Amino acid sequence: MKGHAPFRIGLAAAVLFILILGNIQSVSASDQEEEIIEAVPPSESEKTREEIQMQETMEDKGREIEDSMMEDMDLNQVQEAITELLGENSFDLGTAMERLMNGEQIFTKENFREVIQQVLLTSFSVEKETMVHVLLLVLLAALFTNFSNVFENGQIGEISFYMIYMLLLAVLIHSFGTLSSQVHDTLTGLTTFMKALAPAYFLAITVSTGAGTAMMFYEMVLILIYLVQVLLLTVILPGINVFVLLELVNYLHSEDFLSKMAELMKTLIEWTLRTCLAVVVGLQVVQNMVTPALDSLKRTFLGKTASAIPGIGNAVDAVTEVVLGTSVLVRNCLGVVAIIVLVILGLSPLIKMGFTTILYKFLAALTQPISDKRMVGCLSTIGEGCALLLRVLLTVEVLFMITIAILATSFFQT
C-alpha cells in the first residue's frame, strides 16, 4: 500500500492540474465572450428606442418650458382687456394659444364668412333709415325746385331749397358724427389692448430673441400709442370733422368760397397719415436689421462656449435648442393671437366705414341727374369724410400689426 502512495498523489495532482487548467480556459473564454459582446455595436432597434426616449424627454421638457412661460407672462391682464372690448365669452386667449401651439386652427373659413355677413347686414340695417331720409329729402328738394321753375317764382324755390338743405345737413352731420365717434372708440380700444399686451409680449421677446429686441418693441409700442392718442385722436379726427363741416357749409352758398380751405385740410390729413406710416415702418425695419443681430451674436457666443465644455457641452447645447425653439413658438403664437384680436377689434368698423363710403358715393351718383349740384356735393362730401375715417383706422391697424409681425421674423440660430 505504501508503494502505491506516490502514484496516487501524482494522479491526484494531475487531476487537479487538469481541473485548474480547464477552469482557467473557461474563465478566459468567458472573458473573451464578454469582450466580443462589448465590441458588438447596438442594434437598430436599440438605437431607435434610445432616439424615441430622447425625443420624448425633449418633448416633455418643451411642454414644461411652455407652461412656465405661460405662467410667467401672466396673460390675465390681456384677457381682461379683450373681455372689456369684445364682451364676455367672446374670445379666450389661453385656448387660442393652446390650439395654435398644437398646430390647430382658431377660425374656419365658414366662421369668417359668417362674421363678415353679419357685420354687413348690421351696417345696412343701421344705415338704412338714414339712407331713406336722405333720399326723400333730395327728391323733395328736386321736386320743389322744378315746381318753382314752372311757376317762375325763384324766391319760393330758394327758400324751400334752403329749408330742405338744412334738414339734410342735420341728418348728414348726425350720421357722420356717429361714425366718427365709433372710430374714436375703436382707436381707444386698440391702444388699450396694446397697453395690456406689451408686458407679456415683451417677456416672450426677451426669452426668445433678447433684451435689446424686446426694448425695441417696447419703444415702438410707446411711440405708436403716443401717435394714436396725441396725434390721431386729438388732431386728425377733429381735422376730418372740420373738413366735412367746411365742405357742407361751402355748399350753402351758390358760389364756391371754402373749397380751397377744405382741400388744404384734406391734403394735410392725408400727408400726415402717410408720414406716420412711413416713419414708423422705416424705424422698425432699420432697428430690426441691427438689434436682433446683436442679440443673436451674444447668444451664439454663449451657446458655443457652453457646448465646448467637456462632458456636459452636448447636453447644454440640446437643452438650449429646446428652450429657444419653445420660446420662439410661444412668442409667435402670442403674436398671431394678438394680430387676430386686432383684426376682430377693427373688422366691424372697417367694414362699416367701407360700406358707408360706397353707399354715400352711390347716392351722390344716383341723385346727380335729378337733384341740385349742392345736394350731390353734400352726399359726396360725407363719402369722402368716411373714406378718411377708414384710412385713419386702416393706418393704425397696419402699424400695430407690423409692429407685432416684424418681430416674429427676428429668429436667430445658435
Which of 5-9, 192-196, 273-277, 353-357 bottoms out in mean pLDDT, i.e. has the lowest?
5-9
Q: Mean pLDDT, to the nearest integer, of 140-146?
A: 74
**The pLDDT of residue 75:** 76
At a CB cut-off of 8 Å and minimum separation 6, what does 244 contact?
176, 381, 382, 384, 385
pLDDT digits (tens, 9 = 90+) for 231-272: 888 999 999 999 999 998 888 877 778 888 989 999 999 999
pLDDT digits (tens, 9 = 90+) for 20-29: 444 444 444 4
Query: What's the half-sphere exposure (Cβ side, CA atoms, 13 Å) at 391?
Result: 18
Predicted confidence (pLDDT) at residue 177 exceeds the cutoff of 80: yes
Query: What's the half-sphere exposure (Cβ side, CA atoms, 13 Å) at 194?
Result: 29
**Which pLDDT band, with edges at 50, 70 and 90, does 205 fall under?**
confident
Q: Mean pLDDT, to the nearest integer, of 63-76?
A: 65
Predicted confidence (pLDDT) at residue 314 exceeds the cutoff of 60: no
The answer to whether 262 and 243 have CB atoms below 8 angstroms apart is yes
Question: What is 114-165 written as a DSSP string?
Answer: HHHHHHHHHHHHHHHHHHHHHHHHHHHHHHHHHHHHHTT-HHHHHHHHHHHH
Which of 42-56, 272-286, 387-401 bottoms out in mean pLDDT, i.e. has the lowest?
42-56
| Higher pLDDT among residues 65 and 2, named by residue | 65
Measure the CA–CA gap between 60 and 333, rounded to whole angstroms. 19
Predicted confidence (pLDDT) at residue 4 exceeds the cutoff of 70: no
Q: Which grid coordinates are listed for 231?
A: 396725434
Query: What's the half-sphere exposure (Cβ side, CA atoms, 13 Å) at 105?
Result: 6
Predicted confidence (pLDDT) at residue 78 exceeds the cutoff of 50: yes
How large a percentage of the chain has pLDDT more than 70?
A: 65
Q: How many residues does the chain have?
A: 414
pLDDT digits (tens, 9 = 90+) for 362-399: 888 888 888 778 888 888 999 999 999 999 999 999 88
Predicted confidence (pLDDT) at residue 328 exceeds the cutoff of 50: yes
CA torsion sign, 278 to 283 to 286 to 288?
Answer: negative
Measure the CA–CA gap between 184 and 345, rounded to whole angstroms. 13
Q: How far is CA 320 from the centre of its chain?
A: 27
**The pLDDT of residue 237:** 92
**The pLDDT of residue 308:** 54
Q: Which grid coordinates are listed for 11?
A: 494522479
Q: Mean pLDDT, to the nearest integer, of 404-408?
A: 75
Closest by CA to 157, choosing from 301, 344, 372, is 372
**The pLDDT of residue 240:** 93
**Which pLDDT band, with edges at 50, 70 and 90, does 35 fall under?**
very low
Max mean pLDDT range (161-170, 305-314, 378-387):
378-387
